[in-house]
Amino acid sequence: MKSLHLLLPLLPLALATAVEKRASPQGIDVSHFQSNVNWAQVKSNGISFAFIKATDGTTFQDPSFSSHYSGATKAGIIRGGYHFARPSASSGATQANFFLAHGGGWSPDGITLPGAVDMEFNPSGPTCYGLSPAAMVSWIKDFSNTYHAKTSRYPIIYTNTNWWKQCTGNSAAFGSTNPLWIARYNSVPGELPAGWGFHTFWQFADHGSNPGDQDSFNGDMAGLKRIATGR
């Protein structure tokens, strides 16, 4: 998710601090770029949930995933994996299965979030990975339906509205099934992609008082736990 901070306006630190003080559950997302996380300290800082990078494309397994996942679990933080999508590399089904095999699974244990698929600007090539909007929508459906068939849950979709408009034609196909994790570094989430009337998670800053990107859940702690139990 490192490419987004190059394309979206940064949230001033003072404003980020104010946003972090909201009553809604706060979270972070991390990868091998944050190789050493003191999860007990993160928990004591008030963090309730974490998304942890598990896989990228069809070959990359994040080397910090296991330590992050076990550390968050031990600290009592609700956690889940995320997959950085590479739609030009293979089918959505192939990447969903790779994700599921390497940390992206889900169980109704009350501490595991459904897996998230990271749909954003290509960090090393054409913005939309060389796919037309129709082909991109088909790719996301392939990933989403494969994940749902294996877990009974639709994956969370992480994206930002600019990319979604450009690369899916602002498709409204996922709003009724997939929770939205919107990325926008500002004081409010702003305009959402078509199909979603509200966001479930919001990545509001790429830095803050805790490691990694800073996130918020759109609800209360009971609602966050319901997502982790599938109810």
- Domain at 29-120+137-200+207-229, CATH class: alpha beta
**pLDDT 10s digits, 97-144:** 999 999 999 999 999 999 999 999 999 999 999 999 999 999 999 999
Q: What is the pLDDT of residues 45-95, one digit of tens each?
A: 999 999 999 999 999 999 999 999 999 999 999 999 999 999 999 999 999
Please tell me which residue, 146 or 9, carries the higher pLDDT value.
146
The predicted pLDDT at position 23 comes to 79
- The residue assigned the tokens 């940064």 is 10
How crowded is residue 33: how many other Cβ atoms within 10 Å of its Cβ?
A: 13
How far is it, in rounded angstroms, from Cα 173 to Cα 143?
Answer: 13
Q: How confident is the model at residue 15 (pLDDT cuts 50, 70, 90)?
A: very low
Say what percent of the chain tops pLDDT 70.
90
- Whether the per-residue pLDDT at 19 is higher than 50: the answer is no
Quick one: tokens of 3?
């490419």
Domain residue extents for the chain: 29-120+137-200+207-229
SS3 readout for 134-171: HHHHHHHHHHHHHHHHHHCCCCEEEECHHHHHHHHCCC
Burial label for 191, CB within 10 Å (0-12, 13-18, 19+), is: exposed
Please give the pLDDT value at position 1: 62
Scan for tokens 């339906």, then name that residue: 145
Task: Give catalytic residues, as residue numbers.
Answer: 29, 120
Q: Residue 209 — left, alpha, or beta (φ > 0 → left; ψ -120 to 50 → alpha)?
A: alpha
Distance (Å, rounded) from C-alpha 76 to C-alpha 188? 28
R_g of the chain, CA atoms, integer Å: 16
**Spatial separation of the C-alpha atoms in residues 169 and 152, rounded to whole Å:** 27
Q: Is the pLDDT of residue 10 over 80?
A: no
Average pLDDT over residues 146-155: 98
- pLDDT at 22 (0 to 100): 56
* For helices 133-151 and 161-168, angle between their N-to-C axes, nearest 10 degrees: 110
The mean of the pLDDT values for the chain is 92
Query: Contact 142/93 with Cβ under 8 angstroms?
Result: yes
Q: For the whole model, what pTM was predicted? A: 0.91
- Give the model's confidence band at 231: pLDDT under 50 very low, under 70 low, under 90 confident, else very high: confident
pLDDT of 161 strictly over 60 = yes
| Percentage of the chain modeled with pLDDT above 90 | 89
Q: How far is CA 94 from the centre of its chain?
A: 19
Residue entry with tokens 């736990």:
225
